[in-house]
Amino acid sequence: DTEVTQTPKHLVMGMTNKKSLKCEQHMGHRAMYWYKQKAKKPPELMFVYSYEKLSINESVPSRFSPECPNSSLLNLHLHALQPEDSALYLCASRIAGTVQETQYFGPGTRLLVL
């Protein structure tokens, strides 16, 4: 089973709201990723967690705050977002053994910031 789940599927929030996106996998993968995807663009890497430690932050604004409470769960906390942050947010995971491993993507959360 190669399933990554994400909740919620859709989210509408105002610029003063605080919300969180959740990602979960039970495949024993130890690397988890957050991507942002705008329409007609490829996914853009935001954060990488490896063995529950933040290993890559692609210079993402601090209004996005990732958290990895355990090896199965990844959160993205959102605060004071801007309308241009509206996008599809994708979570992905992989085993974290070799560079040949596939990243498996979750279904995404469609975020609209008003």
Partner 1 sequence: QKEVEQNSGPLSVPEGAIASLNCTYSDRVSQSFFWYRQYSGKSPELIMSIYSNGDKEDGRFTAQLNKASQYVSLLIRDSQPSDSATYLCAGTGANSKLTFGKGITLSVRP
Rounded Cα distance, 32 and 47, in Å: 8
Furthest C-alpha separation in the chain: 41
For partner 1, which stretch binds (CB under 8 A), given 15-23, 42-50, 64-72, 73-81? 42-50
Q: Which of 43, 66, 68, 78 binds partner 1 (CB under 8 A)?
A: 43
108 interacts with partner 1 by CB under 8 A? yes
Which residues pair with residue 99 across a beta bridge?
A: none
Convert residues 49-88 into a mask of x (bound to partner 1 by CB under 8 A) and - (unbound). -------x-------------------------------x
Judge whether 6 and 91 are in contact, CB under 8 Å: yes
31 interacts with partner 1 by CB under 8 A? yes
27 interacts with partner 1 by CB under 8 A? no
Rounded Cα distance, 58 and 94, in Å: 19
Burial class (CB in 10 A: 0-12, 13-18, 19+), 69: exposed
**Residues at the site binding partner 1, with contacts judged by CB under 8 A:** 31, 33, 40-43, 45, 48, 56, 88, 90, 92, 94, 96, 99-108, 110
